[in-house]
């Protein structure tokens, strides 16, 4: 059974339809990379998965549960109560282009804040887990550093540790290296590779084709709000079926 089930999802902003009936399954432990030109709907799809954006029609389920909605007696979707949405969203980690760390908190406190405030863990338990996660992302020496004392790559790794502190079933990455200087990209990608090797289910919006080739189980191409092609990396990059995919790859490879 798929951990993530997306069925005929449509989303519009005003008169502009950004997602045009997208359907996609992601199995537990699978890494799926979303590629496509700017404005193709990749980030919007990611934000719909954890209900940062509402959808017009269709359904999104994570681990069998609707995200953001419930089925009413008449069979139509109704938006859930805020606390129910928050509880389901807590199991979905998200890492953004910008790090969004709390500037007044240390790296460790950034990682501990949500488990204490949302999950109700004691600060001692949260700090022990936070130290473990910062060690996991290679930042044991930076637990007391504040965001302004960290490089962009280090800040992004703190953001990954912060998401992992909620023990998510699913991790969403929205172009996590796009705001980094080129020499800092590798350290974030290595952290993501380690997560993938550990069996974390991941959906990654990225332009890092090397990462997609090496780590993804499937690569999905979006264009103009629709899935154009999906295939294992070797087939996607070496023998794409669709002309639109071939045209896109010819420009980015």
Which region among 55-59, 132-136, 226-230 has the lowest average model confidence (pLDDT)?
55-59
Sheet holding 2-13, edge to edge: 16-27, 2-13, 57-62, 65-66
Cα–Cα distance measured from residue 105 to residue 113, given in angstroms and rounded to the nearest whole number: 9
pTM across the whole model: 0.95
Tokens of 173: 């990455």
- pLDDT tens profile 24-45: 999 999 999 999 999 999 999 9
The pLDDT confidence band at residue 137, using thresholds 50, 70 and 90, is: very high
CB 179 within 8 A of CB 98: yes
Hey, is 87 helix, strand or coil?
Answer: helix
CA atoms lying within 13 Å on the CB side of residue 116:
15
Query: How do strand 170-174 and strand 92-95 relate by DSSP bridges?
Result: parallel
- pLDDT tens profile 152-208: 999 999 999 999 999 999 999 999 999 898 889 999 999 999 999 999 999 999 999
Tokens of 69: 């909605």
pLDDT given for residue 87 in this prediction: 87
Which region among 12-16, 73-77, 114-118, 234-238 has the lowest average model confidence (pLDDT)?
73-77
CA distances from 111 to 14, 148, 193 (A): 37, 16, 20
Helices (H), 103-219: 107-117, 123-136, 152-164, 182-197, 209-215
Tokens of 23: 């359907």
Residues 115-141 have a mean pLDDT of: 95
99 pLDDT higher than 90:
no
Please name which of 188, 156, 162, 154 lies closest in space to residue 109, comparing C-alpha atoms.
162
Q: What is the mean pLDDT of the chain?
A: 94
DSSP per-residue codes, 144-175? T--GGGS-HHHHHHHHHHHHHTT--SEEEEES
Question: Mutual orientation of helices 123-136 and 152-164 as an angle, nearest 10°?
Answer: 130
Cα–Cα distance measured from residue 162 to residue 112, given in angstroms and rounded to the nearest whole number: 7
pLDDT given for residue 100 in this prediction: 87
Cα–Cα distance measured from residue 144 to residue 106, given in angstroms and rounded to the nearest whole number: 5
- pLDDT tens profile 68-84: 898 888 878 889 999 88
Tokens of 54: 């509402």
């Amino acid at each position: 059974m798929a951990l993530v089930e997306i069925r005929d999802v449509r989303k519009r902003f005003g008169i502009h339809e950004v997602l045009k009936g997208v359907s996609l399954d992601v199995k537990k432990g699978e890494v799926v990379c979303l590629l496509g030109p700017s404005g193709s709907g990749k980030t919007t799809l990611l934000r719909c998965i954890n209900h940062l954006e509402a959808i017009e029609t269709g359904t999104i389920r994570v681990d069998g549960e609707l995200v953001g909605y419930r089925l009413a007696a008449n069979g139509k979707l109704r938006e859930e109560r805020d606390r129910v949405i928050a509880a389901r969203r807590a199991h979905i980690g998200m890492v953004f282009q910008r790090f969004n760390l709390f500037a007044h908190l240390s790296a460790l406190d950034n990682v501990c804040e949500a488990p204490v405030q949302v999950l109700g863990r004691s600060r001692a338990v949260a700090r022990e887990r936070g130290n473990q996660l910062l060690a996991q992302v290679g930042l044991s020496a930076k637990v007391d550093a504040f965001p302004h004392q960290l490089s962009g790559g280090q800040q992004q790794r703190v953001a990954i540790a912060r998401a992992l502190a909620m023990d998510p079933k699913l991790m969403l990455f929205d172009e996590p290296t796009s705001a980094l200087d080129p020499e800092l990209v590798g350290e974030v990608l290595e952290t993501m590779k380690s997560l993938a090797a550990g069996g974390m289910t991941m959906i990654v919006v990225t332009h890092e084709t090397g990462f997609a080739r090496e780590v993804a189980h499937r690569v999905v191409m979006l264009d103009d709000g629709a899935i154009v092609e999906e295939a294992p990396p070797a087939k996607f990059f070496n023998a794409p079926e669709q002309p639109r995919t071939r045209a896109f790859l010819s420009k980015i490879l």
